[in-house]
Amino acid sequence: MINTVIFDLDDTLYDEIDYCKSGFAAVADFLHNANPSISEKSIFNELWNQFQNKNRTRTFNAALESFNLPCGDNLIKQLVSVYRDHQPNITLPQETRTILDDLKASYTLALLTDGFLPAQKLKVQALGIAPYFSSVMYTEELGRKFWKPSPAGFERLLSELAVRPGQAAYVADNAAKDFIAPNQLGLTTIQILRANRIHTDRPSGPKDAPRHTITNLTQLAPLLAKL
């Protein structure tokens, strides 16, 4: 019987694309202040264009080059810091708040998320979700080598909650990494396919595949009741 529900954060409880837009807006503001002749809107639009065209690793470099601005390593590192350390302009969808309110009455709730620590903590703060969770596991606090698909974060979280793997479900979005460890450990895995999700990878095999799939968080409570 499931008595504990562990959630991923990005593209599970909210649309991560909203965070990306917020971060690009912060970077655009920073670059506009350093280069007043280039409008903040133009910079944002270029960053967003690069992102939409799947340039996810050299977004800042390409945007700077498009405006004939120097893109040395130090500036790129500075822009990455602006992006990761900005105060996110994101809100918790009402459907997420409703399901968390409903589940909290019957289940122990927890959060397990990868990502750079300051950014992930700022997201949780902006969304106002910490009170819902009995425990929050930022895998970055264990060390970057313990990001998913490492099982370390799950093992630590289960130990803190004193819960057996068979009593827990993990709800997440990314088939490339999210379900490998919890499947191995024996958790029930549930993939949410949000309409605006960033990661659309399909499972490469049984070890990556979620046990169940939903398209909306409103489907979660009925599914859990059957498990």
| Distance from C-alpha of 117 to C-alpha of 112, rounded to nearest angstrom | 12
pLDDT of 199 reads 85
DSSP annotation string for 3-72: -EEEE--BTTTB-HHHHHHHHHHHHHHHHHHH-TTS-HHHHHHHHHHHHHTT--SSHHHHHHHHTT----
pLDDT of 14 reads 97
| Distance from C-alpha of 46 to C-alpha of 43, rounded to nearest angstrom | 5
Cis amide leading into 149 (omega within 30): yes
pLDDT of 40 reads 97
Contact 145, 163 (CB under 8 A): no
* Cα–Cα distances in angstroms (integers) from residue 111 to residues 9, 186, 215, 218, in the given order: 7, 18, 20, 18
pLDDT profile of the chain (227 residues), mean per 10 = 97 97 97 96 96 88 93 94 97 97 97 96 98 97 94 97 97 95 97 91 84 96 94
Sheet containing 212-214: order of strands: 135-138, 108-113, 4-7, 168-172, 188-192, 212-214
pLDDT of 207 reads 87
pLDDT of 54 reads 84
Write out the two tokens for 1.
């019987």
Closest CA to 140 of 158, 118, 115, 159: 115
- Show contacts of 162-165: CB within 8 Å, 24+ apart: 163/3, 163/4, 163/108
| Distance from C-alpha of 65 to C-alpha of 62, rounded to nearest angstrom | 5
Model pTM? 0.94
User: Residue 179 — φ and ψ, nearest 5°?
Assistant: -105, -5
Question: Rounded to the nearest 10 degrees, what angle do helices 16-34 and 73-85 cross at?
Answer: 130
